[in-house]
């Protein structure tokens, strides 16, 4: 369920009100700060043909702040069928969850992430994440 104060939902409404209809998808990943449904969203100006989501953290617990997911979409663009993924890996360093490592280990985390995806694509696009700030929408 998407709540009215969901950042992606509010962004979609704002785009629509400005005459910019986007296709979009959102997944919940975890509860943040004991009250926020934290998740991932992807917007596309083309119809979304397929979505994909999976965990990259050991934790699958929605109530655990260390839980992390990847969200992906497939869309047909001018360049053909392409896959787009987004992931949020920040949040502290822990030996028990290698995808949350920061600093010098981030390149290793990215390599592991790409191995997990291991699809057959010509172009893989990882758009940047844009954390929502209170009152921005």
The per-residue pLDDT string of the chain (137 residues; one tens digit each, 9 = 90 and over) reads: 777 778 889 899 999 999 998 999 999 988 888 888 888 999 999 999 999 888 887 788 999 888 888 898 999 988 889 888 888 776 555 555 555 444 434 445 555 566 656 555 555 555 555 555 544 44
Supply the pLDDT for residue 82: 87
Please give the angle made by the CA atoms of 29, 137 and 127, to the nearest 5 degrees: 50
- Residue-level pLDDT at 88: 76
Domain positions in the chain: 7-125
Please give the pLDDT value at position 124. Answer: 55
The CA distances from residue 76 to 41, 46, 79, 85, 124, in Å, are 18, 7, 8, 14, 13
Per-residue model confidence (pLDDT) at position 133: 52
Domain formed by 7-125, architecture? 4-Layer Sandwich (3.60)
Residue among 108, 56, 53 nearest 84 (CA): 53
**Rounded CA separation 103/93 (Å):** 9
Q: What pLDDT, on the 0 to 100 scale, is given for residue 43?
A: 94
3-class state of residue 32 by DSSP? strand
Going from the C-alpha of 88 to that of each of 15, 21, 23, the distances in angstroms are 23, 25, 21
């Amino acid at each position: 369920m998407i709540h009215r104060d969901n950042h992606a939902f509010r962004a979609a409404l704002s785009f629509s009100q400005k005459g910019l209809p986007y296709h979009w998808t959102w997944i919940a990943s975890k509860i943040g700060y004991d009250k926020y449904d934290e998740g991932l969203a992807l917007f596309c100006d083309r119809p979304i043909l397929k979505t994909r989501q999976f965990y990259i953290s050991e934790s699958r617990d929605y109530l655990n702040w260390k839980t992390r997911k990847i969200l992906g979409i497939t869309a047909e663009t001018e360049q053909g069928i392409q896959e787009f993924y987004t992931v949020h890996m920040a949040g502290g360093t822990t030996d028990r969850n290698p995808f949350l490592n920061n600093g010098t280990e981030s390149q290793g985390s990215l390599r592991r992430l790409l191995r997990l995806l291991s699809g057959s694509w010509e172009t893989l696009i990882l758009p940047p994440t844009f954390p929502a700030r209170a009152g921005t929408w």
